[in-house]
Amino acid sequence: MSSVALTNIATLVTNSTALGDGLLGISAMKTLVIENGKIAALSDRVPEGVGEVIDCAGKTVLPGFVDSHTHLVFAGDRSAEFAARSRGEKYSAGGIKTTVSATRAASDADLTSNVQSLLDEALAQGTTTVEIKSGYGLTLRDELRSLDVARAFTDETTLLAAHVIPEEFANNPDGYVDLIINEIIPASTAKWIDVFCDAGAFSPEQTRAILQAGKSAGMLPRIHANQLSRTTAVALAIELDAASADHLSASTDADIEALAASSTIATLLPGAEFSTQHEGRLGRRFLDRGARVAIATDCNPGSSYTTSMPFCISAAVSLLGFTVEEAVYAATSGGAAALRRTDIGSLEIGALADIAILKSPSYIHLAYRPGANLVETTLKAGRKVKTWQK
Ligand code: NIG
Ligand code: FE
């Protein structure tokens, strides 16, 4: 049996109200014991015979971040588009096509090495679980190979063939919807299915047809909703029991109340709000109405080119109106709920020992010290890891 003890912990965030105080379940215990990759005990001392002891004096121990929304399989960058936004251009779905061309032209090896380096960045900043979408291939072959690339890194893979209508179907958008439903979905091996339901992307009717076909093929729905314009996507997400509705920037109060009364998680994407100069105080509107909220990076080369969950926590606090506790909870427990996972996102007994150790005495520093990487060590299933592996 392998065992590890983290000891002398300055602040231990468990995310369990049974184990500690407040939303984050801050424990009074100073030692966390891991056995066989899982949380075995919270204790006031290091047990006899433990295999490895990690001294956490002056440090914070918290669940690893769960990044429940990323678009990591792509080639190229769109820095010129970003610079144009700094001169007042508005973000639109149009830029996605640039990335589609670069992605189609890239080899599997190049796509894989891009994902590896982005996930190494994420891991170094405390992320331990990641969802990865396809969506820059938009042909049968390129969507399937994007999913194959993603699957080497995570089981949380998402088919987003319905990202935008590709150029070759510009005059026949329903022809592309048919291709998704009749060819891409039946061949997909993804766990989840997602649609970008928005201006310049897919209509609610097209979205419904695609998500229903995906569900019939055994995939579980999630949805890009109300990012650029308000549609009926939130009602659709709830009707189809989507695990999560994401972005939500243009949501009405009625949308938010409907989400709060549903089991669909509201996933907010602070990096996208930050980099497209969009909605301020968005988080408060959801949190005050009792919605269950996740935050994620949305890492992609257009609207949010960040792998950093601590950055997103910081942006959630300073831009979206979250308290620090709400933001840390949304980045850990919230992300787990958005992926319908109960084995991650907390340090309850029996949970996977996916852990970030901060070189600061409090989780507050995650928001208080934007831009500094405070993550000293990341553990996946109880093991220190320096490079991302599934
Ligand atoms: O989540 N909204 C759609 N997809 C991405 C952006 C994709 C891009 O601009 O490349 C998003 O923001
Ligand atoms: Fe997205």
Q: Where are the alpha helices (DSSP H) in 278-364?
A: 282-288, 309-318, 324-329, 335-338
| 276: confidence class by pLDDT, cuts 50, 70, 90 | confident
User: Which ligand is closest to the CA of 305, given by its number?
Assistant: 1
SS3 (DSSP) at 285: helix
Residue 156 has pLDDT above 80, yes or no: yes
Residue 279 has pLDDT above 80, yes or no: no
Contacts of 271 (CB under 8 A, 6+ apart): 297, 298, 299, 303, 304, 305, 306, 308, 311, 312, 315
Across the range 196-204, mean pLDDT stands at 96
Residue located nearest, by CA, to atom 11 of ligand 1:
303
The CATH number of the structural domain formed by 3-64+346-384 is: 2.30.40.10
Mean of pLDDT over the chain: 97
pLDDT of res. 94: 85
Residue given tokens 């290091």 in the structure block: 46
User: Which ligand is closest to the CA of 222, given by its number?
Assistant: 2
| 1: confidence class by pLDDT, cuts 50, 70, 90 | confident
Per cent of the chain over pLDDT 90 is: 96
Residue given tokens 């999913």 in the structure block: 147
Residue located nearest, by CA, to atom 9 of ligand 1:
302
Nearest CA to 124 out of 390, 382, 378 is that of 378
Tokens standing for residue 172: 């026949």
CATH architecture entry for 65-338: Alpha-Beta Barrel (3.20)
Q: Which of 79, 198, 303 to mutate to test the pocket of ligand 1 (most atoms within 8 A of CB)?
A: 303
Give the CA-trace dihedral at 217, 220, 226, 231, to 10 degrees: 50
- List % helix, strand, coil for the chain (3-state, nearest 5): 35, 20, 45
Across the range 222-227, mean pLDDT stands at 97
Contacts of 339 (CB under 8 A, 6+ apart): 66, 68, 129, 131, 156, 243, 244
Across the range 71-99, mean pLDDT stands at 93
How many whole angstroms separate alpha carbon 286 and alpha carbon 293? 7
Nearest CA to 320 out of 250, 371, 273, 251 is that of 273
Exposure string (b/e) for 74-92, b if CB count within 10 Å is 16 or more?
bbbebeebbeebeeeeebe
Where do the domains of the chain lie?
3-64+346-384, 65-338
Alpha-carbon torsion (127, 131, 136, 137), positive or negative: positive
Ligand 2: centre distance to CA 2 (Å): 38
pLDDT of res. 277: 72
Identity of residue 313: I
Contacts of 334 (CB under 8 A, 6+ apart): 66, 68, 265, 267, 292, 293, 294, 295, 345
Residue 357 has pLDDT above 80, yes or no: yes
How many whole angstroms separate alpha carbon 14 and alpha carbon 12? 6
pLDDT of res. 378: 98
| 293: confidence class by pLDDT, cuts 50, 70, 90 | very high
Ligand 2: centre distance to CA 15 (Å): 26
Ligand 1 interacting residues, C-beta cut-off 6 A: 71, 95-96, 99, 196, 224, 227, 272, 298, 300-304
Ligand 2: centre distance to CA 39 (Å): 32
Characterize the bridge pairing of strands 220-225 and 244-247.
parallel
Residue 278 has pLDDT above 90, yes or no: no
If 0-12 CB within 10 Å is exposed, 13-18 middle and 19+ buried, where does residue 7 land?
buried
Ligand 1: centre distance to CA 305 (Å): 10
pLDDT of res. 280: 78
